Chain A
Amino acid sequence: MSDAVVPHRLEPNAQASRSGPGWLKRALDSDIFYSFRRSRMTMVAAAVTILFFLLAIFASQLSVQNPFDPAQLQLMNSRISPLWTAEGQSPFLLGTDEQGRDVFSAILYGLRISLVVGVLGVVLAGTLGITLGLIAGYFGGTVDGLIMRIADVQLTFPAILIALLVNGVAKSVFGNRLDAMSTLAVLVVAIGLSFWVQYARTVRGSVMVEKNKDYVAAAQLIGLPAPKIIFRHVLPNTMGPILVIATINLALAIITEATLSFLGAGMPDTMPSLGTLIRIGNNYLFAGEWWIVAFPGIALAGLILSINLLGDWLRDALNPKLR
């Protein structure tokens, strides 16, 4: 920023015009938006991510059939190759699978499930981790020691192993006949329990710094209850790093769900996520029907890559050292 600009910004007129349009203007003027506009890769990644979310939200409007409804599937239409190949048939843009399921529709519905599990998993992990981190950081002592020891131990085990164990135990407790919706819930819990540690550690770290600041002492002096101080005053000051972790964790959660489903411990064939679709398609790879596995694979890879790129950018943009 050049010196000439600074006094200009302090003029009363400029001030007035800046405060006029409200939060949108403020957001567009912010450092973060500036760094967003500077990176073309990030803009592409954001556009792709938004596109994926839109595809998932409007899945039922965009697809030619409901792939979860067996009545709409016709075996006559099975194993049709994509539209642009010699044997392609309209309206099956990306071909069909063994059961006559339109691959494009299945991807849209699968995307919806993958995103729902991913987002809910991240929300659960975040809620759990943030709460435990706040408690550990604010109160310290034995509670802190206990929570952090559990976190240490869990951190040595890869998330996928924990998620698989949670899944196996749930199956054994509820019996092997869980319906699709309960499986979805089990997946969310498995992901939530696998990823809370990072939030807890980060929040605890920031809280330990924040709680020694004057505003916390002031809040304690006027007699605010601890939960109110923690959630209303300390928590907002720790949100930056949490946002970064949440973005990167969304990609990880989607990978974990896809992996579980691929391993046959996730979503069932009747209500497939992207991972289930890849597992099903993998069986037809040797028969030369590459499109059944390729397109769900590309969708999954594109989704994860764009979310990861967004996460990387967010981490750099929110890091004051790199400004």
Chain B
Amino acid sequence: MLAFTLRRAIQAIGVMIAVGVIAFSMFRFAGDPVNQIVSLDTPAAEREAVRKSLGLDDPVPVQFARYFGNAVQFKFGVSYQFRQPVSNLLMERMPATLELAACATVLAMVFGILMGVYSALRRDTILTKFFQAVSLIGISLPTFLIGILLIYLFSVTLGWLPSFGRGDVVRIGWWTTGLLTLSGLKALIMPSITLGLFQMTLIMRLVRAEMLEVLRTDYIRFARARGLTTRAIHFGHALKNTLVPVITVAGLQFGSVIAFAIITETVFQWPGMGLLFVQAVQNVDIPIMAAYLLMVSLIFVTINLVVDILYTIVDPRLRSTISRPA
């Protein structure tokens, strides 16, 4: 168990170093950092001074070590467009993205599980057909189209919900939250639905498939033979066993939710990290792009690691196969 955890941790660190190399090469080789800082008519001597002050004269491995050392301390350099430290920009934007991603995930879990269970238990009702149509749409419609459709319906036509921004936010320490004000909550509704729809589809399909499979197993048949109520069988036994893979998938998907927030944040002009990243791509602001890549990778790798370890704790069958030497 410990050996497994250690091996996974070392793998995770390896991935982070690989991503670090990519981020550094982007930062160092994609365009000349000096050109981005000085103006067009800066004399060559001054350019050299800037180059020296940035340490761009040092050998590449030294530069990489310095970049990596800084990155570990969350120092990612200065943004070309904003002339501010990238870490400040990211920290400022992070609460918005995490709040949106969390809301979307909760929404996706609740509705995905409900719809999945219903469509597994009542296979041929009209409502099930409707859910399946919704899930096909959730997979086939690009996120930004869903967002635009919602804006057209609820902002342009009905005028119920705001079409952009976070509404009023409350500051708690360095964290800002929109969950405590009415306008903040209203602003959260459409972006969460847009972001969560794809995950909801995924969870619904997964729950349905797992439920159908579990309901065919012997222990469910045995439970029926014991004369347990249908309700106890469906929710006490079947659903419980379905939830382990569902929680795993939802956990693993949280990273993609944050990455997909790029699109949702652009549609709704949500002031999060994703919008910052898109603006960075449009304006070729490499320090922000590299830092975003590192941050998102860190979130991804951490989630993967935690889920892997939790999984072995939750599911004893896995533990026995892992402790056996491969």
Contacts and interface: CB of A to CB of B under 8 A. Distances in A.
A293 B137 CA distance: 18
Interface of B: 15, 18-19, 26, 30-31, 136-137, 139-145, 148-149, 151-152, 156, 163, 255-256, 259-260, 262-263, 266-267, 277-278, 280-282, 284, 286, 289, 293, 296-297, 300-301, 304
Contacts, number: 105
Contacts of A278: 144-145, 148
B259 A293 contact: no
A139 to B, nearest CB: 21
Contacts of A264: 278, 282
Contacts of A172: 26, 30-31, 284, 286
Could you tell me the dominant secondary structure of chain A's interface residues? helix
A285 B156 contact: yes
Nearest to A279: B144
Nearest to A305: B140
Contact of B284 (A176, A258, A263): A176
18 contacts: A153-B19, A156-B304, A158-B256, A158-B259, A161-B293, A165-B281, A167-B281, A172-B286, A262-B142, A263-B282, A265-B282, A278-B145, A285-B152, A288-B156, A297-B145, A297-B149, A304-B141, A305-B140
A156 B18 CA distance: 13
Contacts of B277: 164
Contacts of B163: 286
B142 A153 contact: no
B144 A153 contact: no
A259 interface: yes
Contact of A305 (B136, B263, B267, B297): B136
A160 B259 contact: yes
A168 interface: yes
Interface centre among A161, A173, A305 (most CB of B within 10 A): A161
- Counting chain A CB atoms within 10 Å of each CB, which of B148, B163, B256, B267 scores highest? B148
B284 A171 contact: yes
B142 A168 contact: no
B145 A300 contact: yes
A255 B146 CA distance: 13
B198 to A, nearest CB: 11
Contacts of B149: 297
Contacts of A300: 142, 145
Nearest to B144: A262
A304 B262 contact: no
Interface in A55-103: none
B47 to A, nearest CB: 18
B281 A301 contact: no
B148 A285 contact: yes
A312 to B, nearest CB: 9
B297 A158 contact: no
A51 B149 CA distance: 25
A168 B281 contact: yes
A169 interface: yes
Nearest to A288: B156
A308 interface: yes
A314 to B, nearest CB: 16
Interface string A265-292: 1000000000000100010011010100
